[in-house]
Amino acid sequence: MKYVASLGGQEVEIEINGEDEIIVDGERYAIDFRSIAGQPVYSLLINGRSYEALVQLSEEGSEVLLQGQLFLISVDDERQRRLRQTSGPQLTERGEFHLKSPMPGLIISVSVREGQEVARGDRMIILESMKMQNELKSPRDGIIRSLRVKSGDNVEHHQVLLTVG
Amino acid sequence: MKYVASLGGQEVEIEINGEDEIIVDGERYAIDFRSIAGQPVYSLLINGRSYEALVQLSEEGSEVLLQGQLFLISVDDERQRRLRQTSGPQLTERGEFHLKSPMPGLIISVSVREGQEVARGDRMIILESMKMQNELKSPRDGIIRSLRVKSGDNVEHHQVLLTVG
Amino acid sequence: MFNKVLIANRGEIAVRIIRACRELGLIPVAVFSEADRESLHVRYAEEAYYLGPSPSRESYLRGDKIIQIAKTCGAGAIHPGYGFLAERDDFALQVEEAGLIFIGPRPSAITAMGDKAVARATVTAAGVPVVPGTEGEGNLTDEEIIAVAPQIGFPLLIKATAGGGGKGMREVQNIEELPNLISAARREAEAAFGDGNVYLEKLLLDVRHIEFQILADEHGNVIHLGERECSLQRRHQKLLEESPSPFLDEELRQRMGEVACKAAQAVDYLNAGTIEFLVDKDQKFYFLEMNTRLQVEHPVTEMVTGIDIVKEQIRIARGRKLRSSQEDIRLKGWAIECRINAEDPYNSFLPSTGIITQSILPTGPGIRVDTGIYAGFAISPFYDSLISKLICWGETRGEAILRMRRALEEYRILGVKTNIPFHQNIIASHRFMAGQFDTRFVEERFSMNNSEEGKEELAKIAAIMATLVEHRHHQKASQIFRKSERDTSNWKWLGRWERVNR
Amino acid sequence: MFNKVLIANRGEIAVRIIRACRELGLIPVAVFSEADRESLHVRYAEEAYYLGPSPSRESYLRGDKIIQIAKTCGAGAIHPGYGFLAERDDFALQVEEAGLIFIGPRPSAITAMGDKAVARATVTAAGVPVVPGTEGEGNLTDEEIIAVAPQIGFPLLIKATAGGGGKGMREVQNIEELPNLISAARREAEAAFGDGNVYLEKLLLDVRHIEFQILADEHGNVIHLGERECSLQRRHQKLLEESPSPFLDEELRQRMGEVACKAAQAVDYLNAGTIEFLVDKDQKFYFLEMNTRLQVEHPVTEMVTGIDIVKEQIRIARGRKLRSSQEDIRLKGWAIECRINAEDPYNSFLPSTGIITQSILPTGPGIRVDTGIYAGFAISPFYDSLISKLICWGETRGEAILRMRRALEEYRILGVKTNIPFHQNIIASHRFMAGQFDTRFVEERFSMNNSEEGKEELAKIAAIMATLVEHRHHQKASQIFRKSERDTSNWKWLGRWERVNR
């Protein structure tokens, strides 16, 4: 099976044929790869080097935390890649963005109202959790389409707070 | 629900009525009892005292490891207790005893043969595991009814090695 | 004399104090909120009593309940730890009035140092230099503060008079943003300390935060245990501390230590406390405030002096004389502490909650961990995000850094995000290794993606690991699909059931 | 000079050596057997190579493969740890012949001390007193041994000439049982060391096992780091060690230390080693043997001297001079180590295997843990049962004991049985607290059910907990039963499916 892993601008071609060998950008490597203790922690021996990383799949790809560095990597197999190459520009900058609460907490203040225009980086909500006040900012320019919370509300983890359209 | 817990010669009468109160030998105690992290480790707050123990159910009753002391406790509810009291003497000293391997290992030597009489404490088998040789002794007087292993055999945990009848 | 101690706190510091009690042969008593029933401090204590619902105001801040519990269970003393009630003079007074011993300073010293404005006036009178700021005693209105600000000059800091731990603090660049920031600071201070009073202080740039650990007994002896370097902060929260400070020489250490003792004596100080200073690049130093309690970062001092500060606190509270004089105190080797917080260093350090699914501690020579968590424990949103302290000792600063590096790499906490990667990046930065940093370093000159060494190689490895994981997921998914296609056992069973029941 | 070190071992000691390498800026290389792919030493190393199947003979005893791997990966030195190849002179020689550095003594010293019979002769010649036993050099036949036994007198000990760690050792009470016990000892020695030779030694009663840690460099310097008390043994396996020994005074320490250095010099010793003595109640001491390697119990010496023995080993192997002279060595405070074994103290100490389901380490001031396990790791039956070492330091022996007591109570290892309760009972025994014990104490005068204090109260609590657990099991079982009675969702679903497909 052939894959292309992309991170930043860089692309790496990886071919996985068996359990103990891979080909990376044309070069052959002996590997031994396994997850540890049923956790998303993986140990990789590759040509004798020992690496260990936390690998978590998210909506945007794989997050790999390795030696204190976080890498965001998207992996496509060949078929997916061809599909993507022909499908034109991505719509992520255009679709609606749902601001979800990153943790349970208390809404301290809401500094936007429905219909208001916001710019990338504008502060929208202050959420208190673990005795700290945290600013939640807009990830892009847009208009507040729906505002679902008000100051004083207790919110759950992942609860949608508002939508930027 | 009323229970009687026996250990050694001692008996303790315990009545459990709700989640947060028990009556022990007629005396009322406020309790908060829970298992920790899905393990057989239990935390008990009883009239403010904090105790923690490993509690494991075995064939002979509950093993409670508490502050470095091991207690073997059998718990009966009232019905069971009455049944037991009327059923006469126990048969444990008469039934067959199956010697099971306490761990995986290698049989180093077998010093009994089928039909042989053995006394309590007689050495029957030497089992090597973790680089140590361990003597397995007879728990009571009897006759070797069936011998299922020989020197040089690899055995599994809980495998029956022989039977004393 | 007391032989039972109630610990009016939670988390790692409650565990720390419980251990000191056990090692002194005293009976430790825990109190806990709803969220903390299964926490280590409850598990490790000899007795444990329920305080109330999870929010601090209904549990760990309920001084009245805590005193009642102490009296009922026969605890003769209360150790407040840090945070919560530790710097509340009213609580200390109520403890005394209830006939119990407060393991800490006298209420009058807490009052004097607790109102930061009063503290500044007091130590100034004793000849200790202070950071320029609002003069006089607390309770300033917004209008008074806004009026005096231009005289101090910008940038400046709003600070909670009851403050500590960076809470209720705001930096102000100009007069326009002052009113809003005062409200924000008051709100946070009110929430954290139950007291919304604030004051102003000049924001000194290019300075280090260096503090001295003080011990004082009832017999008039006051000594210091050397300094702690605490300049590595984010939003005025300390993140990494060390002792000694790479910035101090023996001469300056001695001078500052003497001034620190003088500041403590100015309020007739008793028990353990800390004098915080700002030190500029010309080695001029300014009294910042006194923390009239045990500090989070006390272990680095313990590691280099060999003195168990919590045990000393208890001994002092029992009326004993200090066991060491100033001449006995020698700093041996070097100690560094990393505060491990449940927060995401890759997402604005947002707090992270959840159940710990795995915790593998770094161990071995020169390593100390102080923590209140374990695999299976839930990190709740009610309390602050500090979940563990990793402390490394080395013969030299270099050895301590190398040890911390390996320990951070070994440490595995899963289930919540932690700032371990932040510490890994700090420790690996050239400026940290060279000792060249100040209080603005983390916020202004540090980035999580700084280290370029071997980055490309690591990126490739990360790409390989991500690919291998996704490959396995695909394989597994297709196997499950195939399996369920083939899995007819239910239908067979059903068929039999139907035949039997026909 | 080498900058990459291959560690020819597994478990906690491999992890210990990996850490020392990392903290010295050297690259640690692990080797592993099939059972150890997921062990900590593989996870923590910079490189890791597969050795072979799980049995030691096919993996950790394969010196040829290990040397081959070291050469291939460019490791310039090999650290053997303890056990396995650590005291095999042929291996040390092969390492040298391959152009690599063996981190340990010269092969000739291993030869001289490794054959315990030769060792006795050598140190006797240097004026060091030895335990009476068979004279002359090894390879005695059964007949020769049986012939000489009556001259030594009973009781006596059969010991493996290649021995260590209590393996291949048997106590003999009379001449009748001698032949069988010789065979048993030879068999165990053959299995453990690949060498079945044995010799006899008088079994001294009412003695203590006290050993001295030695460091020697290439420049002729030999120093000792004080003693370790190792009398608490079971079947000649050490279980609990401390430093200093409560039995030694400064005068005896100095005398024995000098003799220990003399014994080391007699074989031109290099690197770290240990001279074991038996000491009788009149303070007469006898050389027992020299262990030409790092000891399991080295951490207690590290805690009281502040010297990192593994780092010193590496420095010595790099040709450096010792950094301390004898006068610099001061024992500060007290350290105790408990060896945590996967074995059941309530069932004849039978080894216990399985997957660790939880591991909560004791932490905090004065605690050190050296371990190779974590939650999720499988304890296999292939290697010895030592899974963790818990070391506590205190200012005094009393403080160290109290600290060990609370640490043992905190330590939770689930999934296998451990001997933690054994240590809890030892630590709580009056004889241990008073320092009144000898090498026979554990086997002859200690019982797991000794402590009577508060036992009745504890028994009641245990009964309550057992009852509460069984009560819950009953309730749960009846709930599941009721639930499945009522649970008709499958039938509903089936009904719908049938309607849809009709």
Q: Given B22, B47, B77, which residue is the final one in a domain?
A: B77
Residue where the block lists tokens 């404490």: B121
Residue D491 lies in a domain: no
Residue B106 lies in a domain: yes
Contact C312, C215 (CB under 8 A): yes
The model's confidence at residue C172, banded by pLDDT at 50, 70 and 90, is very high
> What angle do helix axes C116-125 and C107-114 make, rounded to 10 degrees?
100
Q: What is the pLDDT of residue A77?
A: 84
Residue C248 scores a pLDDT above 80: yes
**For chain C, how many structural domains are there in total?**
3
Q: What is the pLDDT of residue A39?
A: 93
Residue B102 lies in a domain: yes
Q: Are residues A92 and A73 in the same domain?
A: no
Intervals of chain A under pLDDT 50: 86-92
Residue C493 lies in a domain: no
Quick: pLDDT tens for C333-344.
Answer: 999 999 999 999
> What angle do helix axes C298-305 and C309-317 make, rounded to 10 degrees?
100
Q: Given B77, B101, B126, which residue is the final one in a domain?
A: B77
Q: Are residues C291 and C408 in the same domain?
A: yes
CATH number where D274 lies: 3.30.470.20
Residue C385 scores a pLDDT above 60: yes
Give A121: exposed, middle or buried? Use CB within 10 Å, 0-12, 13-18, 19+: exposed
Residue A72 lies in a domain: yes
Q: What is the pLDDT of residue D422?
A: 97
Q: Measure CB to CB from residue D16 to each of C360, C364, C371 and give the nearest one.
A: C364
Q: What is the pLDDT of residue D164?
A: 67
Identify which of A88, A46, A38, A90 has the alpha carbon closest to the alpha carbon of residue A66: A46
Q: What is the pLDDT of residue B85?
A: 56
Quick: pLDDT tens for C25-62.
Answer: 999 999 999 999 999 999 999 999 999 999 999 999 99
Of the listed ranges C336-350, D150-164, D295-309, the one predicted with least confidence: D150-164
> Residue C284 and residue C263: Cα distance in Å, rounded?
16
Q: Are residues C268 and C382 in the same domain?
A: yes
Identify the chains in contact with C, defined as 3+ C-beta pairs within 8 A. A, B, D
Residue C480 scores a pLDDT above 90: no
Q: Are residues D299 and D404 in the same domain?
A: yes
Q: Are residues A152 and A112 in the same domain?
A: yes
Structural domain that includes position B127: 88-164
Contact C101, C77 (CB under 8 A): yes
Interface test with chain D among B32, B47, B56, B73, by most D beta carbons within 10 Å: B73
Q: Given B77, B98, B116, which residue is the final one in a domain?
A: B77
> Residue B147 and residue B159: Cα distance in Å, rounded?
12
Q: Are residues D297 and D353 in the same domain?
A: yes
Q: Are residues B45 and B95 in the same domain?
A: no
Q: Are residues B114 and B55 in the same domain?
A: no
CB-CB neighbours of D433 under 10 Å: 14
Find the mean pLDDT for residues C138-156: 89
> What angle do helix axes D250-266 and D116-125 make, rounded to 10 degrees?
110
Find the mean pLDDT for residues C170-181: 94
Q: What is the pLDDT of residue C456?
A: 87
Identify which of C69, C63, C10, C18 has the alpha carbon closest to the alpha carbon of residue C34: C10
Residue D491 scores a pLDDT above 60: no
The model's confidence at residue B17, banded by pLDDT at 50, 70 and 90, is confident
Quick: pLDDT tens for D230-247.
Answer: 999 998 899 999 999 999
Residue D468 lies in a domain: no
Q: Are residues A73 and A92 in the same domain?
A: no
Residue B63 scores a pLDDT above 80: yes
Residue D425 scores a pLDDT above 50: yes
Residue D370 lies in a domain: yes
- The token pair at D499 is 């309607």
Residues of chain D contacting C16 with CB distance shorter than 8 Å: 364-365
Calculate what percentage of chain B has a pLDDT beyond 90. 42
Q: What is the pLDDT of residue C138?
A: 62
Residue D111 lies in a domain: no
Q: What is the pLDDT of residue D494?
A: 37
Q: Are residues B100 and B160 in the same domain?
A: yes
Q: What is the mean pLDDT of chain D?
A: 91
For C:258-317, CB contacts with D below 8 A are 299, 302, 306, 308
Residue where the block lists tokens 């001078």: C255
Cβ contacts of residue C472 below 8 Å, gap of 6+? none
Q: Are residues D224 and D179 in the same domain?
A: no
Identify which of D272, D227, D270 has the alpha carbon closest to the alpha carbon of residue D109: D270
Identify which of D276, D266, D272 has the alpha carbon closest to the alpha carbon of residue D245: D276
**Torsion, CA C245, CA C246, CA C252, CA C253, rounded to 10:** 30
Calculate what percentage of chain D has a pLDDT beyond 70. 93
Q: Are residues A115 and A136 in the same domain?
A: yes
- The token pair at C142 is 């917004």
CATH number where D143 lies: 3.30.1490.20
- The token pair at C436 is 């060249």
- Which phi-psi region, left, alpha or beta, contains residue C152 (left: φ > 0; alpha: ψ -120 to 50)? alpha
Quick: pLDDT tens for C188-215.
Answer: 988 888 888 898 999 998 999 999 999 9
Residue D253 lies in a domain: yes
AA identity, residue D22: R
Contact B124, B143 (CB under 8 A): no
Q: What is the pLDDT of residue D455?
A: 84
Is D397 tagged catalytic? Answer: no
Residue B82 lies in a domain: no
Q: How far is CA D144 from the centre of its chain?
A: 32
Quick: pLDDT tens for D316-355.
Answer: 999 999 999 999 999 999 999 999 999 999 988 999 999 9
Q: Given D451, D466, D486, which residue is the final one in a domain?
A: D451
Q: Are residues B57 and B119 in the same domain?
A: no
Find the mean pLDDT for residues C345-350: 92
Q: Are residues B72 and B111 in the same domain?
A: no
Contact A89, C502 (CB under 8 A): no
Chains A, B in contact: 3+ Cβ pairs under 8 A? Answer: no
CB-CB neighbours of D197 under 10 Å: 21
Q: What are the phi and psi torsion angles at D39 (to 5°)?
A: -80, 160
The model's confidence at residue C494, banded by pLDDT at 50, 70 and 90, is very low
CATH number where B113 lies: 2.40.50.100
Q: Are residues C146 and C236 in the same domain?
A: no
Q: Do B68 and D348 touch (CB under 8 A)?
A: no
Q: Are residues A93 and A127 in the same domain?
A: yes
**For chain A, how many structural domains are there in total?**
2
Identify which of C324, C334, C86 has the alpha carbon closest to the alpha carbon of residue C227: C334
Rg of the Cα atoms in chain A: 21
Residue A82 lies in a domain: no
Of the listed ranges A58-72, A84-98, D394-408, D443-457, the one predicted with least confidence: A84-98
Q: Are residues C235 and C193 in the same domain?
A: no
Q: Are residues A68 and A99 in the same domain?
A: no
Q: Are residues C308 and C266 in the same domain?
A: yes
AA identity, residue D185: A
Interface test with chain A among D21, D36, D46, D72, by most A beta carbons within 10 Å: D46
Q: What is the pLDDT of residue D319?
A: 97
Q: Given C150, C171, C202, which residue is the final one in a domain?
A: C202
Q: Given D85, D103, D121, which residue is the final one in a domain?
A: D103
Residue D119 lies in a domain: no
Q: What is the pLDDT of residue D493?
A: 36
Going D348 to B147 to B160 to B62, the CA torsion angle's sign is: negative
- The token pair at C174 is 């100009």
Task: Assess C28–D contact: CB distance below 8 Å, yes or no.
Answer: no
Q: What is the pLDDT of residue B84?
A: 58
Q: Measure CB to CB from residue A16 to each of C342, C408, C468 and give the nearest one.
A: C468
CATH number where D39 lies: 3.40.50.20
Q: What is the pLDDT of residue C481?
A: 47
Among chain A residues, the shortest Cα distance to C379 is held by A130
Q: Are residues D171 and D226 in the same domain?
A: no
Residue D481 scores a pLDDT above 50: no
Structural domain that includes position D419: 210-451
Residue D383 lies in a domain: yes
Q: Are residues A30 and A71 in the same domain?
A: yes
CATH number where A23 lies: 3.30.700.30
Interface test with chain C among B45, B66, B67, by most C beta carbons within 10 Å: B45
Helix (H, G, I), strand (E, B) or coil at C57: helix
**Residues of C involved in catalysis:** 293
Q: Measure CB to CB from residue C38 to each of B34, B48, B49 and give the nearest one.
A: B34
